[in-house]
Copies of this chain bind each other. A is one copy, B any other.
Amino acid sequence: MTKSYWLWYPGDMELYYAMKQNFSRVERGYGWPAFWKSEGFRNRVVFRRTYMLEEDTDFMVRSRDTGFVMVNDIKYPFGVAVTAPEGEVKISIHCARIEAFPAVYIEGDTVCSDPGWMAGDYDAPEKPAGFSEYFTDPWQDPSVWEYSEKVYSPVSIEKVFVEKDDKGNVVETRAPGAGAVSGYLYTFETELTAVLEVLNTDGTPIDMLDVKTMQVCCGESREEALDMLHCYYSWHVDPQTGRCPRCALRCVFIPGRPREVYAIHQYVDIPVRAYLKTGDGLLNRIWEVAAHTFSLCSGIFFIDGIKRDKWIWSGDAYQSIHINPYLLADPSIDRRTLTALRGNDPMTTHINTITDYSMLWLMGVWDHCRLYKDLDYLRAMYPRMQSLMDFLRSQTDEAGFFTGRPGDWIYIDWADLDKEGPLGAEQMLYACCWRDMAGAAALLGREGDGAFYEDQAARLEKAIEKAYWDPEKGAYIDSFVSGRRHVSRQTNIFALRCGVARGERRKEVIENVLLNDSIPPITTPYFTFFELDELGREGRTDVLYERMTAYWGGMLARGAVTFWEEFDPLVPVSRQYDMYGDRFGKSLCHAWGASPLYLIGRYLVGLSHTMDEEGNTGFVLSPSLDHLGSLDCAFPVCGGEKTVRIRHKNGILRISTDAEGGTLVMEGARIPLHPDREYEIEI
């Protein structure tokens, strides 16, 4: 039997699970669904394929939908053996479902649900049907994701007393007063996304009376779990299963007598394909914690954080797409995330309601497709990239600058930007989108489109130069409308990232803005990624190393087991989990906290991924051994299918790879790395 997949209308699976994901945020007893347009899957779908059969052949269609199979002109129900006659046979499968996306699975030797089916929704032209490696079993229900599971026991169980302090918080106390509550705190070795199972200490189920009164308080920190009033997740176990809903947790506090507690960690099993051991213990620990953080935030989709928001944000995903090749090198999570973010055509709202997030989506698609040489995906997304550009272009002023519409959220960063008139930082991204479109058109052989996109990019860059470049300050300003000539790091970092500042301009901007202490510093990890990326690209690994180890090392010093949404070393320990005016508002496991994976891999190990004009992938290696000391690491390369291993010890650098297209660049020399040979270089 040929390999079959569950088939669906392309994008439907992603849109369905994206809704499940974006509706899964829970906060102290209420659900908090994401506040943007939620795109539905299709409810009525047809799958079609024509076979030329050499003999009569049997097949069977499985589906939970309402519908039928049609073989030439004859209709059959689902779930029965059907014989397709010899010769040319037209098969169509008609499906309808309201509560989840329609899906079919076809079992057969010749006629089966392998790639090659087209899907239609009675509206757009038919497209290749969607499928996933995660849904290949006839007994699966594609609307139920089957997580991998690993059961954890607590690494410590402590009896604790808590009581209300004078601010109304519930805190641990060594000298319990009259209103104190005693209970047990269960701590796991690290943070998990887990279903908790609670039993009596003799292994029997919790009885009904206990179920009603027993409160199970979860926390990303000890403090959060103990604060029965303010912890985000506080459950009663389900009396049937003895379990609590899946949530982020590291510590669990259960008032009353001791219990037996297990955390059933549920995750999407995406193999880790990189490892790193250096002579620098802090760097190693940063790598490990970042890797754990990134894996936790990489499931069906890239999400921002596992406790909060649990939403798919385009800006966060854009960074995850760049981190991914240095740990997982999994292109399918990129695709699921990008497809979910973009939704259906027509485009009528900005992604996550944020103008810059629409643009980062497009840049993310392009970067993804080059990283993995994913031409199929580029081809599938190209019409949606075009309609996104049409959408952006409908929101420009006479000069061609992107303005957005009244009410649109222009984010860029949590920072003090001068947002009067069209914002400089937005123009940088907008110019990059035109350039990326030109690249995409070229790669897909659509030269006609390409010329238009090149022209748009060139015009816009020229207009930016004229309107936003301030020769006196030697920097790009946020706004030319206000007259304030405000210079921010954000606008200039995007000018660098987006290739608007090139050559000499680039040097000026680095010098006058990024290395200029009088320009207010970046305070968010989100933009720290962009800033350190530019400093790294500029060869300033010294600054990069220093700031990275200070910032992420600072979190480790505060006991972090996963990296946080935000960290300010000046905030006292007692308020370190506070954010958005909420005592435990801060997410302690946040995808963008994992950016050291990228920064270390890209600039300290010095591995960059390349694609030449013919679409051949390769890599360049340019290790910055000063900051690493001894080194033993391996990274996926060439779209993740190959590996490069790098070791450095006692002045000898050893490199081996099974990939074509690798180059070592050291001290000005370029050494081609041929596969299956070990290179030994004395340093």
Contact = CB atoms under 8 A, between A and B. Distances in A.
Nearest to A348: B123
A32 B68 contact: yes
Given A37-B44, A123-B348, A67 B30 contact: yes
Number of copies: 2
A66 B77 CA distance: 36
Interface string A144-175: 00000000000000000000000000000000
A29 interface: yes
A512 interface: no
B35 A94 contact: yes
Interface string A79-122: 00000000000000011111110000000000000000000011
A123 B349 contact: yes
Interface in A34-67: 34-38, 40-44, 46, 65-67
Given A30-B75, A30-B78, A98 B100 contact: yes
**Size band of the A side of the interface?**
35 or more
A23 interface: yes
A68 B35 CA distance: 12
A606 B100 CA distance: 51
Contacts of A76: 30
A23 B94 contact: no
B37 A123 contact: yes
A19 interface: yes
A76 B76 CA distance: 51
A284 interface: no
Interface in A14-31: 16, 19-20, 22-23, 27, 29-31
Interface in A265-322: none
B32 A94 contact: yes
A35 B67 contact: no
Nearest to A94: B33
A96 B66 contact: no
Interface string A399-410: 000000000000
Contacts of A121: 37
A346 interface: yes
A122 B67 contact: no
A576 interface: no
A19 B122 contact: no
B44 A95 contact: no
A136 interface: no
Nearest to A44: B38
A353 interface: yes
Contacts of A32: 67-68, 75, 94
A350 to B, nearest CB: 11
A438 to B, nearest CB: 29
Nearest to A121: B37
Contact of A31 (B66, B98, B353): B66
Interface string A227-271: 000000000000000000000000000000000000000000000
A75 B35 CA distance: 14
Contacts of A99: 98-100
Contact of A77 (B16, B23, B29, B348): B29
A23 to B, nearest CB: 4
Nearest to A96: B33
A19 B66 CA distance: 11
Contact of A16 (B96, B97, B98): B98
A549 B597 CA distance: 84
Nearest to A78: B30
B40 A43 contact: yes
A651 B667 CA distance: 117
Contact of A23 (B34, B66, B78): B66
Contacts of A22: 96
B66 A35 contact: no
A122 B36 contact: yes
A46 B35 CA distance: 9
A99 B20 CA distance: 11
Contacts of A44: 19, 23, 33-34, 36-38
Contacts of A75: 27, 30, 32
Contacts of A16: 98
Contacts of A65: 31
Contact of A33 (B36, B77, B95): B95
B96 A30 contact: no
Identify the interface centre among A37, A40, A43: most chain B CB within 10 Å of its CB: A43
Contacts of A46: 35
A559 to B, nearest CB: 30
A122 B19 CA distance: 14
Nearest to A346: B346
Nearest to A34: B44
A118 B432 CA distance: 39
B348 A23 contact: no
Contacts of A97: 23
Contacts of A98: 16, 19-20, 23, 99-100
Contacts of A43: 19, 23, 38, 40
Given A99-B98, A100-B98, A353 B23 contact: no
Given A31-B68, A31-B96, A32-B75, 14 more contacts: A19-B98, A20-B98, A23-B96, A27-B75, A30-B68, A33-B67, A36-B44, A37-B123, A38-B44, A38-B122, A40-B41, A40-B42, A40-B43, A99-B100
5 contacts: A16-B98, A19-B44, A23-B66, A31-B68, A38-B122
List 4 A-B pairs, minimum CB-CB distance, nearest first: A33-B96, A99-B99, A31-B66, A38-B44
